[in-house]
Amino acid sequence: MRALCTARARMRVCVRVCSCVSMQLKQLGTAYYVYPGASHNRFEHSLGVSYLSGAQIDYLAHSQPELRVTDEDKMLVRIAGLVHDLGHGPFSHVFDSLFIPTVRPDRAAWSHEVMSAELFEALLDDNGIDLLDEHQRRCVQRLVLGAKAQSSHAYSAPGVAQTVTMAAGFGGTRAQVHTTRTDVMGAGGDGGNGSAGSHLGGDEKMFLFDIVANGRTGIDTDKWDYLARDTYNIGHTSAFDHRRLLYSSRVVEDRIAYHAKEVMAVYEMFHTRYSLFKACYVHRATKAVEFMITDGGC
């Protein structure tokens, strides 16, 4: 099926996944009470993330054929973009950041990313969607979880310290930013179960886990879409253009890196996110309604 998305034009989507009730969620929760235009939903956002994820993997596959990206890789990444936000509860982040810690403090570590992975499994089973084999399902779940794939959850393996490398012109000096993340595929690239090799290529394709949910640098298609969509719907402006990064991306040492000349594009991305937090996400009226909803549910 093709769908028309206001921010991303026409795109191919998996119609059977899109038709499920669990895909119909508001994007900004209580921000609607401050910005009436913020009535867009997570279904729209998920369409956009799926589209951008496909665009990035297509670009990398075309510009670097040595990566040996397969059609199956492309399909799994697109599906991961489509279902990455399934786990959001009522009123978006209110559910996991306020409601759950208040009502169930014993589940304070609960996250919508883990729930998205679990609901993806339920979505396929409950709706009789027999599109993927068991291992492909696990790969989509790991793509959704990104760096969180190896937490104490079922997809776990020991965490390791990683070095994020951004290539300066893709050669010569590299600026290195050290960060702690958990290895999505675990030691040996198999997620601790020795089974990664048949899909997504194991260690040699770890860069695929940087596309939808990048726990190494925070630069991912999820962010690209919601920054554009949220600024548009609340009437704000932004100098950030995701295309500057998408078309300067390259896999270096199995990480997605960006040309050093695009450092300002990276800055604008994080600056836009900061501006949205100040103007919308933590606006006093938005937070007041969130607290009232939490109190009402206790």
pLDDT tens sequence across 132-162: 888 898 998 899 887 545 433 333 322 222 3
Cα dihedral 38, 41, 44, 47 sign: positive
pLDDT at 284: 81
DSSP-based three-state secondary structure for 262? helix
Domain limits of the chain? 13-297
Task: Tell me if residue 242 is catalytic.
Answer: no
What pLDDT band is residue 21 in, cutting at 50, 70 and 90? low
Strand 160-167 with 174-181, pairing? antiparallel
Which residue among 112, 199, 242, 283 is the active-site one? 112
pLDDT at 19: 58
CATH class belonging to 13-297:
mainly alpha
Q: Which residues pair with 180 in a beta bridge?
A: 161
- For residue 71, give every residue at least 6 positions away whose Cβ sits within 8 Å of its Cβ, in sequence order, or none: none
pLDDT digits (tens, 9 = 90+) for 242-254: 999 999 999 999 8
